[in-house]
Amino acid sequence: MKTARTTTAVHGAALLLTLTALGFTLWHGLDEPANALAFGVLIAFGELARWGAQPGEREPAPLATAGALAYALLGQNAGEATTHGVLQTVAVAVAAGLVGTVPHLARGRDPDLDHLARRVLTVAFTAACFQPLYNAGAVTAHLGQGPAHALFLLLLLLLTALCDAVLAALLHRARKGHPYGPLLRDELRALPGIGSAVCATGAVMALAVAVAGLWALPVFAVPLLLTQVSFRRYAAVRTTSRQTIASLARATEIAGCTPPGHAHRVAALSRAVGRELGLSGPELTVLESAALMHDIGQLSLVDPVAGGATAPLPAEEQRRIALLGAAVVRQTGVPEAVARIVERQADPYAEQPLPARIVRAVNAYDDLAAGSAGGGLEALERLRLGTARDYHPDVVESLARVLARGGVTPAPPG
């Protein structure tokens, strides 16, 4: 209930602000229509450039966001002062974004309401911090038009990025139920990536239009567009790699070494526990890959393990399977960090890195839950009894919290 109220509050604030901005602009008309049209076209094109965007991307339309931020920070056009203000900035950003979203809706793609709400609120925040001060002459009087002005814009965009990270973490918590602290840390760690490129492009666009006019917009939009294309290619390679790892993980199921869905259940639950314990995005990706491939060493066994459950095996046999699995993983071309986790999963927890501790505990939970009459509760109790040597107490308690929230739904195989 509380998380639903959070989502409703954020979406409601964005909707109220949108309706106010559109109503104000329709009533009073557009100031400097040429500027509004130029930035509106850029934002709409940025939305159209989302073709092929993957679900869950942090910034699916970077060009549109950069254009909206640039319009929020626009104080001059070729030396002439602008007067469009905060509400018109929001109205143009929303209207242009909706125009660019229409083709996606026609193809049956639902809009990302969380992302739209974040953009409305962050653009409004930027415009509210800049437009009143600039229109009152305070920015020019104290900072002029030199480096101090550029630094002021970058500072505003940094504050905007921080606000967006706070909103993104709030909405993610509302949707998934993960702890807020690790989610916020993950968002802040991601800021130096595409977020910094978006903010820098927005500031450069605003400064360039102030000097050279609206013709600067397409020139300075090209680098970010090329960056977006490169990011798409990188994301495609990363997706192919994940699919390859998922297919390799199914090999143990196809061979009858492990129960159907075991690897994907362990991977999904390990990722949730890793997020609970504060692992970053790249660390979660490595953890998920290792969890998917944690049983691949069973393919090298002459005598298969009965039922595929490795948790009840003697420590020496678990260690041998882990070493065999790491040797197989190293031949697949995945990162060495994945092989190290697979290799260390059978060590005493005092000697393990955190990802290996997570894989060991979650794998044992899934094995024990499937093989006990008491199901998950009995399996969790057995893990707690094993915290003296086999399972780290913090990992077991984090697993318990994830399960108490309803666990996770694993991704479909492949």
Give the model confidence (pLDDT) of 5-38 as tens digits: 888 899 999 999 999 999 999 999 999 999 999 9
- Helices vs strands, H then E, count in the chain: 17, 2
Which pTM was predicted? Answer: 0.77
Mean pLDDT rounded to a whole number for the chain: 84
Residue 59 reports pLDDT greater than 90 = no
Residue 64 reports pLDDT greater than 50 = yes
* Percent of the chain topping pLDDT 90: 28
Query: Confidence band (pLDDT; 50, 70, 90) for 410?
Result: very low
Spatial CB neighbours of 296, under 8 Å, sequence gap ≥ 6: 248, 249, 251, 252, 325, 328, 329, 342
CB of 47 closer than 8 Å to CB of 61:
yes
pLDDT value of residue 176: 74
Spatial CB neighbours of 396, under 8 Å, sequence gap ≥ 6: 361, 380, 383, 384, 387
Three-state SS at 166 = helix
CB neighbour class for 376 (10 Å; exposed up to 12, middle 13-18, buried from 19): middle
Nearest Cα to 276, choosing from 391, 394, 387?
394
One-letter amino acid of 165: A
Two structure tokens written together for 195? 């977020």
pLDDT value of residue 414: 39
Two structure tokens written together for 92? 């143009």
Q: Which residue has the tokens 């609206």?
A: 214
CB of 179 closer than 8 Å to CB of 47:
no
Residue 229 reports pLDDT greater than 80 = no
pLDDT, tens only, 141-200 = 777 777 888 888 888 988 998 999 899 888 888 877 777 887 888 888 877 777 788 888
pLDDT, tens only, 234-252 = 667 777 777 777 777 777 7
Residue 411 reports pLDDT greater than 50 = no
Give the C-alpha separation, 206 to 89, whole Å.
13
Cα distances (Å, whole numbers) of residue 316 to 76, 133, 222, 313, 320: 72, 70, 58, 8, 6
Query: Confidence band (pLDDT; 50, 70, 90) for 51?
Result: low
Three-state SS at 302 = coil
